[in-house]
Amino acid sequence: MRKYLLAIAFLSICITGARANISSLKLNEVKQVNDTTIDCFIEKMPEYKGGESAINEFIDKNLVYPKESHAEGKVYVRIVVSEKGRVREAEVFRSLDPYCDKEAIRVVKMLSNWTPAVMNGVNVPCYYIVVVRFKKG
């Protein structure tokens, strides 16, 4: 079931080119991550102040292309935006190469100024996928 849900979430993100909009779903499925309950289906997704363009701008400004890498492409990083709007956990959801993955995690962990997700009128931690693009030169 977990693989099925992850596959649906990933396809939704790929199709929209941004994040999955699942606000119409009212399911109360939750997951345990490091002894913390994370709502998977919520009323309002977390939002970065300034939106997707601000995320991309921040990443472009702070990303350093790894000298050891020759890869070009995207790294998908799954984060947990806490109920206080902070990035808690970051892990590579879809890898490019180890050097780019490490740099993507470093930069994504620096993202701040999130408006947290909302479930039943309460701020809750929530997964969010950030796409980090690597282009040499």
Question: pLDDT below 70 — which residues of the chain?
Answer: 1-41
pLDDT in tens, 50-75: 999 999 999 999 999 999 999 999 99
For residues 65 and 70, what is the distance between their CA atoms, to the nearest angstrom?
A: 9
**Which residues, at least 6 apart from 9, have a Cβ–Cβ distance to it below 8 Å?**
20, 127, 129
Q: Is there a contact between 132 and 63 (Cβ–Cβ < 8 Å)?
A: yes
Residue range of the domain that includes 129: 2-134
User: What CATH number has the domain bearing residue 37?
Assistant: 3.30.1150
Closest CA to 82 of 115, 129, 40, 44: 115
Domains of the chain: total: 1
Put simply, whether the predicted model's pTM sits higher than 0.85 gets the answer: no
- What's the whole-number average pLDDT of the chain? 79
